[in-house]
């Protein structure tokens, strides 16, 4: 029997240990810990990596989502009470951010095969109050951004991206959704939670955009609403990427593409070699290398039995996510109060009931990948 962890940070620490220790030491010696030179350097580097004009580091991914939307309200692009289309099978943070910004999430079913927003359902989800689409690249798999952006353009909607799981995903030569300059989202929000493809050693997040005005408002909102010290233009919060996390991210960023390439190799094997009639695997995308493969999901009607079977064989798994947002206690009564809008969501509920995430990450060996595949295929 072989032990296969779901994800191991040891590989990153071994690979970059000296560089990370040097980063910590440099920050300690600098005596500057908030919004200093390392944060500025990371923002510049990550904006360039994403092919965007601006990046603003914030405290975490949820704040990135919330501040991105709040900044759009401050600029008059959105108004409190406007509706935002959100895929129904996302992590709860996506919905929390829309609510925190004073907007109304409209939950739309995902595509059952790809698990991302079903673009064929957007038209029926729109009302006279719909003003934006918040796309989620769930599991690191890119949503159909050309179709989404074309729909948004035709219906005069803004497009935002929850890219918390999509570091390094690329539709074209730039990262994420940009199609040169013809079609693009207004902004994308990232999380740098430690287990992300690009993870810090604590919490962190960022908003990436070509809209320099939006970036400036996000930065101000995350610094108590201040445009200069002791001058507060907005009602803001305290959400800033600290120097330690920025230094860690700077050390890791040059390795992101190679780490993602290994994830893509593993995903290719999973797609091709998992062959069990009880297990459903998402189809191979047209361009597998465009996806970040943060998580590799499989689906099984007897999911709990499969998880127990794999645990007995030493294969660690997780569930993303067992309770969809509309069934969370936090949103009890939200539908009747008009704080959330949705219809029947059988696909989102099916995915929550059957999803199982199997080991994925650059630390995996070929032998471990083979063992995971063999173990899944052995389940009966």
User: Which of the residue ranges 14-18, 114-118, 128-132, 143-147 would you say has the lowest mean pLDDT?
Assistant: 14-18
Is pTM beyond 0.75? Reply is yes
The C-alpha atoms of residue 23 and residue 251 are separated, in whole angstroms, by 8
The C-alpha atoms of residue 1 and residue 101 are separated, in whole angstroms, by 49
Cite the beta strand spans of 123-179 per DSSP E: 130-136, 158-162
DSSP assigned state of 15: H
Determine phi and psi for 335, rounding to 5 degrees: -65, -50
Check residue 172 and give its pLDDT: 64
- Span 254-284, pLDDT tens digits: 999 999 999 999 999 999 999 999 999 998 8
Check residue 182 and give its pLDDT: 39
Residue 57 has pLDDT above 50, yes or no: yes
Check residue 173 and give its pLDDT: 56
User: Which of the residue ranges 20-29, 67-76, 236-245, 330-339 would you say has the lowest mean pLDDT?
Assistant: 20-29
Contact in structure between 208 and 218 (CB atoms under 8 Å) = no
The C-alpha atoms of residue 208 and residue 369 are separated, in whole angstroms, by 34
Q: Is the dihedral of CA 235, 236, 237, 238 positive or negative?
A: negative
Check residue 178 and give its pLDDT: 46
User: Which of the residue ranges 19-28, 226-235, 239-248 would you say has the lowest mean pLDDT?
Assistant: 19-28
How large is the angle between the packed helices 243-252 and 37-50, nearest 10 degrees? 40
């Amino acid at each position: 029997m072989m032990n296969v962890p779901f994800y191991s940070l040891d590989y990153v620490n071994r690979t970059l240990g000296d560089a990370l220790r040097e980063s910590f030491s440099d920050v300690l010696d600098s005596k500057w810990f908030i919004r200093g030179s390392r944060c500025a350097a990371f923002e510049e580097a990550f904006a360039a990596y994403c092919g965007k004009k601006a990046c603003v580091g914030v405290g975490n991914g949820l704040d990135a989502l919330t501040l991105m939307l709040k900044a759009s309200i401050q600029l008059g692009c959105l108004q409190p009470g406007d509706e935002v289309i959100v895929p129904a099978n996302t992590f709860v943070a996506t919905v929390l951010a829309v609510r925190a910004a004073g907007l109304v999430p409209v939950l739309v079913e995902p595509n059952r095969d790809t698990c991302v927003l079903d673009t064929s359902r957007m038209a029926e989800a729109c009302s006279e109050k719909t003003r934006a689409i918040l796309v989620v690249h769930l599991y690191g798999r890119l949503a159909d951004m050309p179709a989404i952006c074309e729909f948004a353009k035709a219906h005069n909607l803004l497009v935002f991206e929850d890219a918390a799981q999509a570091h390094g995903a690329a539709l074209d030569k730039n990262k994420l959704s940009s199609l040169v300059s013809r079609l693009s989202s207004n902004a994308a929000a990232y999380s740098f939670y430690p287990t992300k493809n690009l993870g810090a050693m604590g919490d962190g997040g960022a908003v990436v955009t070509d809209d320099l005005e939006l970036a400036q408002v996000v930065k101000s909102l995350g610094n108590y609403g201040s445009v200069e010290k002791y001058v507060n233009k907005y009602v803001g919060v305290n959400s800033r990427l600290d120097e330690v996390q920025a230094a860690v991210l700077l050390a890791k960023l040059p390795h992101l593409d190679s780490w993602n390439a290994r994830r893509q190799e593993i995903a290719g094997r999973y797609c091709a070699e998992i062959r069990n009639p009880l297990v459903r695997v998402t189809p191979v995308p047209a361009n597998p290398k465009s996806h970040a493969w943060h998580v590799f999901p499989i689906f099984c009607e007897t999911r709990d039995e499969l998880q127990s079977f794999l645990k007995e064989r030493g294969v660690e798994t997780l569930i993303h996510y067992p309770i969809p947002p509309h069934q969370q206690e936090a949103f009890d009564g939200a539908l009747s109060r008009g704080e959330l809008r949705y219809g029947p969501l059988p696909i989102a509920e099916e995915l929550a009931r059957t999803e199982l995430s199997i080991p994925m990450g650059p630390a995996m060996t070929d032998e471990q990948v083979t063992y995971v595949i063999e173990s899944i295929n052995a389940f009966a």
